[in-house]
Copies of this chain bind each other. A is one copy, B any other.
Amino acid sequence: MEIRFSLFYEHQLPRPWSEGQELRLYQDALDQVEIADRVGFDYVWEVEHHFLEEYSHSSAPEVFLAAASQRTKRIRLGHGIVQLPPAVNHPARIAERIATLDLVSNGRVDLGTGESSSSAELGGFGVRRTEKRDQWQDAIDAITRMFVEEPFAGWSSKYVQMPPRNVLPKTVQKPHPPLWVACSRRETIQFAARNGIGALSFSFVEPEDAGKWVDEYYRIIESDECVPAGFAVNPNVTVVLPMMLHEDEATAIDRGIDGAHFFAFALAHYYGPTPHDPGRTNVWEEFQERRNAKGFSREQIIANAETLRVNVGSLRGAVGTPQQVIDLIRRYESVGVDQIAFVLQSGPNKHEHICESLELFGRAVLPHFTEGRDEREAAKAERLAPAVEAALARRAPARTAPPGYRIDEDAEVARVDRARRPLREDIRAAGRRRFRQGFYRLVHGRTDEQIERRFGPSAQRLFFAGMARAYDPSAAGGFTGELEFRLTRTTWTLVIGESRARARPGPAGDPSLTLIVKTADFLRILAGDANPATLLMDGRLELRGDYEMAPRLSEMFGGPSPY
């Protein structure tokens, strides 16, 4: 097995903040990366996070990594990760930045990608959580095509509209830099494999569990399930661990454990339900108050432990002596992990301790893993070559735009406008919403008598005709038959045919479902002022016949619009 080593940056800055601290943080990080490059680290990864005060002041990794490119010669520069939802980063801007970084670094970029998943970020940019996976898949397809298509043949999806353009500059690495995706659990590791890209696992995982993930990952990579997201396959699994190194174990713990624990605590703060008041919440203070209660007590960390445990709670990672860390790495190596990304800059960890650790790692740990590594990697590539080739054949190829296209600003902007313009369904939904709001005001707080007085025969006719018109056969699951509504003084029937419905007054001949309910309560349900489930339990709504259909009713009629 072969294994690579990297540095991983969140640019953490616990409160209280003082002037010049962010400057120090960034300048120190550049110095650290320079050392890492010199002593033989293979990668430096930097996250892209927005608004995550204290946990990550790393909101523009494209800038930091570009600066790092001129302080280093050999180390690869990894985005870990770029957020792909187009509301955060336009796909063309991502392709442009990656290519430019590849040019200034002479081909040293790795493109890690992700969906963004903290509430601070999704809420901040207005990204729907239910859509972010789709957006990722859409954007990575567009971005990788921008790398290889010349010109990019254009894009028209739910999320991105773009006419044909030659996206410039192009990357140094061909067809494009290696791709990765952020993973946090088994399911996303499989997702990475299905997309034929590297898995950047950000959860602290024990070697034994990592081994299971790795096996599954490579099984999928070599299977038909792998349909590459890009135009090259990057079969690699990286895990992330905290690190602090010293020949004396107690010193290593003293220097590194608060950082490791703060990292995990602040992660849970931003990705869990803990409330956050921007600019005010003091995460470091909360950490100090609650670390013991949350399982991050300093006392549980005992020097001379036989093996290092990495899981959250006892989170220790690679905080220890060179020999302990060598042993830990061996365990990851033996289960087939391809890369370990070490977090040294976290919480209150000190710059000089980080530098010492890096030097010590280069001197006392790294040499144990470098011999024959290139050959083993070459052998791995050779072994996987047929699977990679087969996988790439499954990916939709680069397109060749027909020549003769002409840039046409007015037509192109109009196309984007059309895509942004409300669809017919949106217009209908807006109409329904407005209707329902007005209707709600009409029934809310009224007595049964007041409501029923307004709902005479002609209004009832209008309502049921509206329901019939709003009937959506696709939601009916093939149902045909009669629905009967027995109201206070009248009964209506909706006759459901294969593709349409019609309303008629009077009882049904053979109703599939009968609703017995006071007119006022029926209107309250339609207006959203009463919950049918509650009415059922209170005995104010009675159902007879095919009960199973009842929950489908709302969908079938797309709301009670008379439009």
Contacts and interface: CB of A to CB of B under 8 A. Distances in A.
Interface stretch (A259-267, A284-292, A382-390, A410-418): A410-418
Given A23-B106, A163-B124, A413-B123, A101 B51 contact: no
A22 interface: yes
A100 to B, nearest CB: 4
Interface string A139-165: 000000000001110000000011111
Nearest to A105: B67
A123 B169 contact: no
B277 A165 contact: no
A96 B406 CA distance: 35
A63 interface: yes
Nearest to A72: B70
A119 B71 CA distance: 38
A25 B403 CA distance: 27
Nearest to A127: B413
A421 B416 contact: no
Interface in A285-312: none
Nearest to A275: B406
Interface string A48-90: 0011110001011011101111110000000000000001111
Contacts of A279: 150-151, 164, 166, 401
B168 A104 contact: no
Copies held by the complex:
2
A118 to B, nearest CB: 8
Interface stretch (A186-194, A422-430, A511-519): A422-430
A431 interface: yes
A524 interface: no
Contacts of A97: 59-60, 62-63
Contacts of A119: 407-409
Contacts of A410: 123
Contacts of A123: 163, 407-413
A353 interface: no
A89 B86 CA distance: 10
A164 B281 CA distance: 13
Contact of A51 (B107, B165, B280): B165
Contacts of A68: 70
Contacts of A127: 413
A162 to B, nearest CB: 6
A172 to B, nearest CB: 6
B407 A172 contact: no
Contacts of A420: 126
Contact of A422 (B27, B120, B280, B430): B430
Nearest to A51: B165
Nearest to A107: B23
A410 B276 CA distance: 14
A246 to B, nearest CB: 29
Given A30-B104, A100-B60, A124-B163, A170 B22 contact: yes
A122 interface: yes
A92 interface: yes
Contacts of A367: none
A280 to B, nearest CB: 5
Contacts of A280: 151, 403
Nearest to A419: B126
Contacts of A411: 123
B172 A23 contact: yes
Nearest to A122: B409
Contact of A57 (B126, B165, B168): B168
A479 interface: no
Nearest to A129: B409
Given A278-B407, A426-B421, A430-B427, A167 B51 contact: yes
A128 interface: yes
A26 B70 contact: no
B62 A64 contact: no
A103 interface: yes
Contacts of A26: 100, 103-104, 169
24 contacts: A22-B169, A23-B172, A26-B100, A30-B70, A50-B167, A51-B166, A52-B168, A53-B166, A60-B97, A64-B66, A68-B70, A87-B90, A89-B93, A123-B163, A123-B407, A123-B408, A124-B163, A124-B165, A151-B280, A277-B403, A279-B401, A421-B426, A427-B430, A427-B431
Interface of A: 11, 22-23, 25-27, 30, 50-53, 57, 59-60, 62-64, 66-71, 87-90, 92-93, 96-97, 99-101, 103-107, 119-120, 122-129, 150-152, 161-170, 172, 275-280, 401, 403-413, 415-417, 420-422, 426-427, 430-431
Given A62-B63, A66-B67, 17 more contacts: A22-B103, A22-B172, A27-B103, A57-B169, A59-B96, A59-B99, A60-B101, A63-B97, A63-B100, A87-B90, A123-B410, A124-B163, A151-B278, A166-B278, A276-B407, A427-B427, A427-B430
CB-based closest 3 A-B pairs: A126-B416, A151-B279, A123-B412
